[in-house]
């Protein structure tokens, strides 16, 4: 079997690709907060103290992720030492950071005022959030596989491609769920301001999933021959 020796290990440097995983760890932690926040909101509304604490924790994660992103982008080696195209790398850092921005925007909309969500809509809304979070979770094995592949060639190339496809397929499911949920929202017996608020919340959940799909597309381009 042919092994490629990691070039950066030969010169003793730290791969900037490691910074992507470090940044993703903040995204991963944010998905837990999104799930907990929604359950808290539905249970206690915007007056729920825990919801406010969780929202603050998400803001702190976003700040920390921004610092990791800036540090990673500001300490890139010169072109010769990059394992992947620098433009793709920079585009990926932006796309992965957009996942957190969408999560933050979603909670900001939910925090505007208390909305009493009808039972069926509540169930379908929770399902959409769970599936959007799943799309982001599926990005992790895609990122880890890409890093192994570009550094060592010891990863299964087809398995890594399957990981990209899994993210795209999951986002496609989220997109369909959003379309059905919006129909449900506009036919619900609710004040328009409540419909407007929830529409934006779910739109940002969809955006979160969409950004995960965008990340998978950039990772795929990184390993293109």
Most confident of 3-12, 66-75, 115-124, 210-219: 210-219
Question: What is this structure's pTM?
Answer: 0.87
Per-residue pLDDT of 19-70, as tens digits, reads 999 999 999 999 999 988 888 887 665 556 688 888 899 999 999 999 999 9
- The phi-psi region of residue 119 (left if phi > 0; otherwise alpha if psi is between -120 and 50; otherwise beta) is alpha
Q: What is the pLDDT of residue 41?
A: 81
Per-residue pLDDT of 122-153, as tens digits, reads 899 999 999 999 999 999 999 999 999 888 76
Q: Which two tokens stand for residue 85?
A: 């195209």
Angle at 93 between CA 168 and CA 9, to 5 degrees: 105
Q: What is the pLDDT of residue 47?
A: 54
Per-residue pLDDT of 184-225, as tens digits, reads 999 999 999 999 999 999 999 999 999 999 999 999 999 886
Q: What is the pLDDT of residue 8?
A: 44
Q: How far is CA 167 from CA 4, 66, 131, 160, 202, in A?
A: 28, 23, 11, 11, 19
Exposure letters 11-37 (e unless 16+ CB within 10 A, then b): eeeebbbebbeebbebbbbbbebbebb
The rounded distance, in Å, linking the Cα atoms of 174 and 125 is 11
Q: How crowded is residue 157: how many other Cβ atoms within 10 Å of its Cβ? A: 12
Q: What is the pLDDT of residue 50?
A: 80
């Amino acid at each position: 079997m042919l092994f490629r020796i990691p070039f950066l290990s030969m010169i003793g440097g730290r791969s900037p690709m490691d910074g992507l995983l470090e940044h993703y760890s903040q995204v991963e932690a944010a998905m837990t907060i999104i799930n907990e926040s929604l359950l808290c909101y539905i249970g206690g509304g915007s007056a729920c103290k825990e919801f406010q604490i969780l929202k603050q924790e998400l803001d702190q994660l976003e700040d920390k992720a921004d610092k990791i992103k800036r540090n990673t982008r500001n300490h890139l080696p010169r072109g010769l030492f990059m394992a992947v195209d620098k433009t793709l790398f920079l585009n990926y850092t932006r796309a992965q950071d957009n996942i957190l921005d969408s999560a933050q925007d979603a909670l900001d909309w939910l925090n505007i005022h208390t909305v009493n969500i009808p039972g069926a809509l509540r169930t379908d809304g929770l399902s959409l959030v769970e599936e959007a979070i799943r799309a982001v979770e599926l990005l992790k094995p895609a990122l880890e596989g890409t890093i192994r592949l570009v550094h060592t060639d010891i990863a299964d190339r087809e398995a890594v491609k399957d990981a990209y496809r899994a993210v795209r397929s999951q986002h496609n499911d989220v997109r369909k769920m959003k379309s059905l949920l919006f129909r449900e929202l506009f036919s619900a017996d609710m004040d328009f301001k409540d419909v407007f608020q929830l529409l934006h919340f779910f739109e940002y959940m969809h955006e979160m999933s969409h950004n995960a799909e965008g990340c998978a597309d950039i990772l795929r381009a990184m390993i293109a021959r």
